[in-house]
């Protein structure tokens, strides 16, 4: 099959559009807080813009690097080792908001290893499973060996704690195993084994139990555990069909917590209305269709699994974020890919899309 001359332009331009919208909405959501904190409304958006520039440059470089370079133990084992080391290293840094998620370099640069764990895990699974597609019934030498590193990553991320990212890692792993041909009974066994610890994390940890209670009874604690979601729903409802207008949102003015990060979709809904919110959903829909098209049209098993994993990871994260904002699932801090403020997430996501774009060169 002849190689394509160019990359998938739908993925490329949809990505750039989402990043551009993200920068505009980060500025809108953070300007007042940034003015209060740094005496300038531009600090947060400039920081995000620098990460966006670095991420786009990384995407452009990686979309020109042959993806087959990652399909080797010489790449996979060092990547796994470094990522595991970084996930452990976060516990030696001072916590922030009662979590250990960031490696800090002075007071100006932070890095979040859990974001790196997503593409590294995807590349590992693609490499491992692509050579064992005819042995997916061998639960001992294929399934158990395949899920060992995902379990290590999930446990380390849960310990931070960051249950949202851990669930994304778990979901991506399960879906990639199914795509590789794993029997459904093993998936059900895996879910059955994961359910008791998940329920324990949700109901036996006090602050998560409060969130679960508020999810079931939204008005039970509007000034406490339910504050986030109630302010989010107020923002979404206030936007109506066409929105208050760009920069005209009210909830971001010290009412809506994390307005530029975890709840940026609520700010989008308030300022741009139902129309603006649906544009974001449609853009992610376009990304989904084109990304999955690249996956399912790839003849190389490694490329197919990698493209599928990279696409699904972004979609799962977007699904969780939007669902939290709309109170469709319990409140959980997780950024909206390519849009929310957060340098590591933006850079790593754009780098992963660069790999996806390189794979698209080989698809008709």
Q: What is the pLDDT of residue 98?
A: 66
SS (H, E, C) the chain: CCCCCCCCHHHHHHHHHHHHHHHHHHHHHHHHHHHHHHCCCCHHHHHHHHHHHHHHHHHHHHCCCCHHHHCCHHHHHHHHHHHHHHHHHHHHCCCECCECCCEEECCCEEECHHHHHHHHHHHHHHHHHHCCHHHCCCHHHHHHHHHHHHHHHHHHHHHCCCHHHHHHHHHHHHHHHHHHCCCHHHHHHHHHHHHHHHHHHHHCCHHHHHHHHHHHCCCCCCCCCCHHHHHHHHHHHHHCCCCCCCCCCCCCCCCCCCCCCCCHHHHHHHHHHHHHHHHHHHHHHHHHHHHHHHHHHCCCHHHHHHHHHHHHHHHHHHHHHHHHHCCCCCCCCCCCCCCCCCHHHHHHHHHHHHHHHHHHCCCC
pLDDT in tens, 274-297: 999 999 999 999 999 999 999 999
Domain ranges of the chain: 9-360
pLDDT in tens, 81-121: 999 999 999 988 877 666 788 888 766 678 899 999 999 99
pLDDT band at 2 (very low <50, low <70, confident <90, very high): very low
β-partners of residue 226 are: none
Task: Average the pLDDT over each of 53-57, 168-172, 193-197, 215-219 and give the range with the smallest value.
Answer: 215-219
Q: What is the pLDDT of residue 1?
A: 43
pLDDT in tens, 300-346: 999 999 999 999 999 999 999 999 999 898 888 889 999 999 899 99
Mean pLDDT of the chain: 91
Question: Alpha-carbon distance 306 to 284, whole Å?
Answer: 19
pLDDT band at 161 (very low <50, low <70, confident <90, very high): confident
Question: Alpha-carbon distance 128 to 310, whole Å?
Answer: 16
**pLDDT cut 90: percent of the chain above it:** 68
The answer to whether the bond into 161 is cis (omega within 30° of 0) is yes
pLDDT in tens, 230-261: 899 999 999 999 999 999 989 988 788 888 88
362 neighbors 356 (Cβ within 8 angstroms): no
Question: Alpha-carbon distance 153 to 157, whole Å?
Answer: 6
User: Taking the mean position of all CA atoms in its chain, how far away is CA 56?
Assistant: 17
123 pLDDT exceeds 70?
Answer: yes
Per-residue pLDDT, averaged over 154-176, amounts to: 94
User: Taking the mean position of all CA atoms in its chain, how far away is CA 17?
Assistant: 17
**pLDDT cut 70: percent of the chain above it:** 97
Question: Alpha-carbon distance 291 to 287, whole Å?
Answer: 6
Residue 186 CB partners (closer than 8 Å, separation 6+): 139, 143, 177
* Residues in the chain, total: 364
232 neighbors 263 (Cβ within 8 angstroms): yes
291 neighbors 262 (Cβ within 8 angstroms): no
């Amino acid at each position: 099959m002849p190689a394509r001359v160019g990359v998938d332009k739908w993925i490329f331009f949809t990505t750039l559009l989402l990043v551009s919208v993200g920068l505009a909405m980060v500025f809108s959501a953070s300007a007042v807080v940034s003015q209060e904190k740094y005496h300038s409304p531009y600090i947060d958006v400039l920081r995000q813009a620098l990460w966006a520039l670095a991420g786009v440059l990384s995407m452009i470089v990686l979309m020109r690097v042959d993806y087959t370079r990652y399909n080797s133990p010489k790449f996979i084992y060092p990547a796994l080792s470094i990522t595991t080391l970084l996930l452990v290293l976060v516990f030696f840094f001072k916590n922030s908001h009662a979590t250990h998620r960031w490696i800090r370099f002075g007071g100006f640069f932070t890095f979040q290893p859990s974001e790196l764990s997503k593409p590294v895990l995807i590349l590992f699974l693609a490499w491992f499973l692509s050579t064992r597609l005819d042995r997916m019934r061998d639960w001992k030498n294929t399934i158990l060996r395949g899920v060992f590193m995902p379990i290590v990553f999930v446990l380390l991320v849960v310990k931070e704690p960051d249950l949202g990212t851990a669930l994304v890692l778990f979901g991506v792993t399960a879906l990639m195993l199914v795509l590789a041909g794993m029997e459904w009974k093993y998936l059900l066994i895996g879910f059955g084994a994961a359910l008791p610890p998940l329920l324990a994390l949700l109901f036996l940890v006090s602050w998560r139990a409060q969130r679960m209670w508020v999810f079931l009874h939204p008005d039970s604690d509007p000034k406490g555990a339910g504050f986030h979601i109630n302010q989010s729903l107020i923002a979404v409802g206030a936007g109506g069909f066409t929105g208050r207008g760009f920069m005209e949102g009210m909830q971001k003015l010290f009412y809506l917590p994390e307005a530029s990060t975890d709840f940026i979709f609520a700010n989008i809904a308030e300022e741009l209305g139902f129309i603006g919110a649906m544009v974001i959903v449609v853009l992610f829909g376009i990304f989904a269709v084109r990304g999955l098209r690249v996956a399912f049209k790839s003849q190389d098993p490694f490329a197919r699994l990698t493209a599928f994993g990279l696409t699904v990871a972004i979609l799962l994260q977007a699904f969780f974020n939007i669902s939290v904002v709309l109170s469709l699932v319990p409140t959980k801090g997780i950024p909206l890919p390519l849009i929310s403020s957060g340098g590591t997430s933006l850079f790593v996501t754009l780098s992963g899309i660069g790999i996806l774009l390189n794979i698209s060169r080989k698809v008709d």
